Amino acid sequence: MVGHKHKFLKNIGLLILVLLIVLFSIFPFIQMLSTSLKYSWDWGNPSLIPTEVNWSAYSEILGIGEQAEIDIPDSVKKLLDETPNLNDEQRSAIIDKYSDNSDVFPFFKYFWNSIRFSLTASLCSLIIAIFGAYSIARMKYRGQKLIQRGVLFVYMVGGILLLIPLYKISSAIGLSATQGGTTLSLVIIYMVQTLPVCLYMLGNSFRSIPFSIEEAAFIEGYSRFQTIVKIIIPISFSAIATVWVYSFMIAWNEYLFASVFLKSFSQMHTLPIALKALFVSKNAIWDRISAASLLTAIPVVILFMLIQNFLSGNKAEGGVKE
Amino acid sequence: MSNTKLTLEEKDARLGLKLVLPSVTIIALLIIYPIFYNIYLSFFDVKLNGDAFFIGIKNYTNVLSDITFWKAVGTTFFYVIATTALTTIMGLIVALVMNKNFPARTIVRSLVLLPYVAPVISTVYSWQFFFDPVNGIFMHLMVDVFHLADNRFNLIADPKYAIWVAIIFSMWKAFPFTYLMILSRLQSIDQTLYEAVEIDGGGGIRKFISITLPELYFVMGSIVLLRFIWNFNKFEEVYLLTDNVKVLSVYTYFKAFTGSMDLGQGSALVVIQFSLLVVLIILYVKKVLKW
């Protein structure tokens, strides 16, 4: 009887602990959601449930509903009318300057920029890493051990250690002068940031594939290359997806290099620098910054939830019998 | 016979090199070369227009004689030690809890991963809002509910408190990774070991001290060192949350890319930080990986 009660108390204790851990983990997200739906007069209200739900932060960020008015001062309008020798480009540049209303946060532009940078960099580095990691994990040649150790070493070199030299190099070869060049250097830098992680993680996963599977493929007459493409990649699909999500996330989250390289190219700004700029630019924007934060988190959270399901099904198990 | 086998092996080796070549080239050009180029730059006075004048070790003497540099070193070590310790302890506790049976465990595990998964930029503002002097819940609790402080104040703007906010934030962000690593080791512990202790009459605490902890020793060791190395280089998690915590990365960023943009001194700072890092990595390799 006493033992029963003891166990009951223990279970209650465990549940409270679980609850606390979950609360600690998700509280910032709940608060984000709550703040994004509150009116500004409601921000100081410690309750997480908005007194009155306000969707304006979302409709503004996502550009739903009324378009922001283009507010060009009369003097400028006059100037535009009276100087016909302005070409279209100059004209639209002037209009842009005034219609770049700081109240409007072009979320989709930044979102799209982030997507392009992250997708390109993560896919390129994934493809390079699949073959590189296979070679390091499975093939024998001189220098293979050295490369393997080198990868582990560069895996730990953080971005801040490379920022100054890479910035100097990119401006020395003239890449940082143009938007295209800057975009290219940033994509390459994101590739470099993700490549060591990809090589390391994929190498570990390839090493865990039983040799007998590959041997069977060789006996069937497959070449090395065919084996990689037709056997290794499908078997490691879940590992490859996981690694891809990781490298996508690294690029998606990157702030340091973007802030330095894209400083003068606001057209190419990614979400992290845009959010930081939005926050610094003015006061009293908690609803919009919360909404933008949530929307920025959603793609990577969805990707992670997807690979969580991948991870449960281990494809290598069906392929071989010892 | 042996001749053809040799050429086959040679062919294989050649293919191996070809496959790894793109990776090696990129890493060599964009990681290894910049590291050396950075060392070279640290001996120059780098002007904004791209000119550079050799000035010997002047950048280093400037850095080392600057009291704010030593403060940054102190801040860095404090930050790294505190975050590593707290993250590991939190990860261990969560792993032990998650190893038990309770309802809705799958969904709980997913939810606990959220801090690790979400981008730094989308989580910092919620934390800032929490500590906001006017609207934040923290000040509401401190002042209006528990009366621990007389007035609301801007906690994150004060370096003395900001570093603790940065430490807690880092723990919140990283503990899911630590807990996952510990949990997977925890689940592979041979259950008969526990039964043996039970037969000897040992209770829960005995089991934890004489079996769980020793079994976790290696995974914890590697987690601690990796976390130490990673947090040593952390920039975003500190800088985006508050610019009042000047760890080395943030200090270098300010030196090199704001104000007078002293890239030469920035390079010297990076060389110093890098040297410290190499010591840590060697330690990691010697202790944990044993090549």
**B89 in A contact zone (CB under 8 Å):** no
The alpha carbon of residue A302 is apart from the nearest alpha carbon of chain B, in Å, by 10
Q: Given an 8 Å threshold on Cβ–Cβ distance, is B130 in contact with A151?
A: no
Domain of B198?
A: 67-289
Q: Is residue B11 part of a domain?
A: no
Quick check: is B250 in a domain?
Answer: yes
Token pair of B50 as six digits: 């791209």
Q: What is the CATH number of the domain that holds B214?
A: 1.10.3720.10
Q: Do B34 and A165 touch (CB under 8 A)?
A: yes
Contact A286 B34 (CB under 8 A): no
Closest Cβ opposite residue B24 in set A147, A304, A308: A147
In a domain, B103, yes or no: yes
- Comparing A88 with B116, the larger pLDDT belongs to B116
CA distance B113 to chain A (A): 8
B215 Ramachandran zone, left/alpha/beta (phi>0; psi -120 to 50): alpha
| Token pair 């340091």: residue | A256
Alpha-carbon span A132 to A19, nearest angstrom: 44
Point out the residue among A128, A159, A169 whose CB comes nearest to the CB of B23: A128
Question: Which residue stretches of A37-159 are H helix?
Answer: 56-61, 74-82, 88-99, 107-138, 144-155
Burial class (CB in 10 A: 0-12, 13-18, 19+), A320: middle
> Which residue from A296, A276, A280, A301 is spatially nearest to A113, judged by alpha carbons?
A296
Distance in angstroms (rounded) separating the CA atoms of residues B216 and A284? 48
Nearest 10 degrees: Cα torsion A177, A178, A184, A185: 10
What does the pLDDT read at residue A63? 78
What's the pLDDT at A82?
Answer: 67
Is some CB atom of chain A closer than 8 A to the CB atom of B252? yes
Number of domains in chain B: 1
> Across the interface, do B97 and A136 touch by the CB < 8 Å criterion?
no
pLDDT per residue over A122-181, tens digit each? 999 999 999 999 999 988 888 888 998 888 888 888 888 899 999 989 988 888 888 899
Q: Residue A15: its chain B contacts at CB < 8 A?
A: 102
Q: What is the reported pLDDT for A278?
A: 86
- Written as six digits, the tokens of B70 are 């030593």
Q: Tens of pLDDT along B55-86?
A: 988 999 999 999 999 999 999 999 999 999 99
Question: What distance in Å separates the CA atoms of residue B82 and residue B90, rounded to the nearest whole number?
Answer: 12
- Average pLDDT, integer, range B199-223: 84
> Would residue A287 be called left, alpha or beta, if left means φ above 0 and alpha means ψ between -120 and 50 degrees?
alpha
Does any domain span residue B123? yes
B206 in any annotated domain: yes
Check CB contact under 8 Å for B117 and A301.
yes
Q: What is the DSSP letter of B46?
A: E
Mutate to test the interface with B, among A161, A184, A228 (most CBs of B within 10 A): A161
Which chain B positions have a beta carbon within 8 Å of A149's beta carbon?
291
Contacts of A128 (CB under 8 A, 6+ apart): A191, A195, B22, B23, B26
Contact A157 B118 (CB under 8 A): no
A19, A126, A160: best mutation site toward chain B, by most B Cβ within 10 Å? A160
Main-chain dihedrals φ then ψ at residue A283, nearest 5 degrees: -90, 170
B90: nearest CA partner in chain A: A21
**Each residue's pLDDT tens digit, B31-59:** 999 999 999 999 999 887 777 888 988 99
| DSSP run (H or E) holding B53 | strand B52-54
Structure tokens at A279: 């926050």
Distance of alpha carbon A221 from alpha carbon A251, whole angstroms? 40
Q: Which two tokens stand for residue B282?
A: 């060697």
Decide if B128 contacts B241 (C-beta within 8 A): yes
User: In angstroms, how far is CA A92 from the centroid of its own chain?
Assistant: 32
Q: Is B44 helix (H, G, I), strand (E, B) or coil?
A: strand
User: B100 contacts in A (CB within 8 Å)?
Assistant: 14
| Nearest by Cα to A126 from A240, A9, A260 | A240
Adjacent-strand bridge partners of B44: B54
| pLDDT score at B196 | 85
Give all domains of chain A, ordered by start, each with its CATH number.
Answer: 2-54 (no CATH), 72-102 (no CATH), 107-319 (1.10.3720.10)
Tokens of A84: 């016909």
Amino acid identity for residue B249 in this structure:
S
Q: Tokens 């007389």 map to which residue?
A: B150
Is residue B111 situated within a structural domain? Answer: yes
Query: Minimal Cα distance from B140: which residue of A?
Result: A46
Write down the pLDDT at residue A322: 32
Comparing B268 with B152, which gets the higher pLDDT? B268
Q: Is residue B121 part of a domain?
A: yes
Q: Do the chains contact at A32 and B126, CB–CB below 8 Å?
A: yes
Interface of B with A in 159-178 (CB under 8 A): 172, 176
CA B115 to chain centre: 15
User: Does a structural domain hold residue B51?
Assistant: no
pLDDT at B125 over 70: yes
Q: Which residues are paired to B45 by β-bridges?
A: B53
Cα–Cα distance list, B245 to A275, B79, B115, B168 (Å): 20, 9, 21, 13
User: What is the residue-averaged pLDDT of chain B?
Assistant: 88
Read off the amino acid at residue B125. Y
Yes or no, beta carbons of B117 and A279 under 8 Å apart? no
Non-local CB neighbours of A316 within 8 Å, separated by 6+ positions: A208, A209, A210, A213, A235, A236
Question: Counting every residue, how long is chain B?
Answer: 291
B240 reaches A (C-beta below 8 A): yes
Q: Which of B27, B46, B123 sits opposite A196 (nearest CB)?
A: B27
Q: What is the pLDDT of residue B47?
A: 81
Pairwise CA distance, residues B175 & B114, whole Å:
11
Contact residues, chain B, for A172 at CB < 8 Å: 50
Decide if B236 and A192 are in contact by the 8 Å CB cutoff: no
Mean pLDDT by 10 residues, chain A (322 residues): 73 92 95 89 82 83 64 64 66 60 75 95 95 92 88 83 91 87 93 90 89 88 89 90 91 92 89 89 78 92 81 37 32
CB pairs under 8 A between A and B: 252
Nearest CA in chain B to A141: B13
Angle CA B213–B214–B215, to nearest 5: 90
Higher-pLDDT residue of B240 and B151 is B240
Of A22, A158, A165, the CB nearest to B233: A158
